[in-house]
Chain A
Amino acid sequence: MDKEHIHNEGFQVPEGYFEQLESSVLGRLDEGMEVPEGYFENIEDRIVSKVKPQRTISISRYLSWSAAAVILLSLGFWTFSSNNQGRDETLMVAMADEDVYLDYLLDNPEELESLDLSPFLDDSMNELDDETMIEFLDESEFDLEDLESLI
């Protein structure tokens, strides 16, 4: 059946019928279920923001240097691992995952003392300003939520 023929049948549909068809079939108003007005319009932004790295927070305000040291160490665990080949198996397994390793360090603070802090604790540490700190944390993709849970 060609398009011309359909037109000649004299059938019509209400304006916007096909645009609304999908949501009415999906939504089935007769189920008694509704959604807040505009819910589907802004959902993309809300979900996309969940997977974007968070950037615009002044970290230093919340951060004590001791917490910073723990974080820097956890981020720099590759450096650490190459210097500590004789460590026991538990630690090596823990190091396989950055988060697990961070938890391990928090549970075993004594481990911190035996680590080589020199890569992080040189003179420049004293001059580390907010901007450098944010840049470092940004580059290392450290999750702010993890950061806050340490404080």
Chain B
Amino acid sequence: MTNELDEQKIVAQLKDPIEAELGFRSLIGTYKERLYWHIRRIVLIHEDTDDVLQDVFVKVYKNIHSFKEESSLYTWIYRIATNEALSHKKRMQRKWEGMSQSVEEASAQDLKADPYFSGDDAQLALKLAIDSLPEKQMLVFNMKYFQQLKYDEMSSILNTSVGALKASYHHAVKKIEAFIKNEEYG
């Protein structure tokens, strides 16, 4: 989590036409890795992640004046990144469906073909299991298991109660276990 003072400084710079570029560079430097991995775990492919990540930063830059500072910058950016990544994923799914391809198979093929995925069978199975989850469960599982975010942080990013998030995580873990067992023995 970024220091609140750092965040305020970045926002002030971004809103000042003279300092905007400096602020933009700090913004990217501060969030690039966290956002990259957040997006990557949703869209899976490196090239797609790169596109979405750039779009997210450009969107933040262009819309900074509509950021009301009621939530933290971190929360706001994570929300934008989540929405952009999910939109990208849906576009891909529509494209595959339009080509009469199974979404699961197309997603698996793409991941295997990504030169920046070097996972073994178990890692591939885990990614595909997560990918098969309903949207919210997928987000919660990634944010909890890999990013190790706290439930209250997730709650403000996803605008969902902590109780509902805990339930989603629980369901996600059960489904992933079942998915992987099915892959192994099914």
Point out residues on A near B: beta carbons under 8 Å: 22-23, 25-28, 30-36, 39-40, 43-44, 46-48, 50-52
Contact = CB atoms under 8 A, between A and B. Distances in A.
Given A22-B33, A51-B61, A32 B25 contact: no
Interface string B122-149: 0110110000000000000000001110
Q: Chain A CB within 10 Å — which of B28, B29, B40 has the most?
A: B28
7 contacts: A27-B33, A27-B37, A32-B118, A32-B120, A33-B117, A35-B46, A36-B46
B54 interface: yes
Contact of B58 (A34, A43, A50): A50
Q: Would you call the interface of chain B mostly helix, strand, loop, or mixed?
A: helix
A49 to B, nearest CB: 10
B62 interface: yes
B62 A51 contact: yes
Contacts, number: 67
A122 B132 CA distance: 65
Contacts of A25: 148
Nearest to A30: B123
Given A26-B37, A51-B24, A43 B32 contact: yes
B: interface residue count bin: 20 to 34
A83 B43 CA distance: 51
Secondary structure of the A side of the interface?
helix
Contacts of B117: 32-34
Interface in B57-83: 57-58, 61-62
A32 B119 contact: yes
Contacts of B21: 48, 52
Given A47-B57, A47-B58, A34 B29 contact: no
A35 B25 CA distance: 20
B146 A28 contact: yes
A39 B36 CA distance: 11
B34 interface: yes
B131 to A, nearest CB: 13
Given A31-B126, A32-B123, A32-B124, 4 more contacts: A26-B37, A44-B32, A50-B54, A51-B61
A48 B60 CA distance: 12
B166 to A, nearest CB: 22
A44 B53 CA distance: 11
Nearest to A23: B33
Nearest to B116: A34
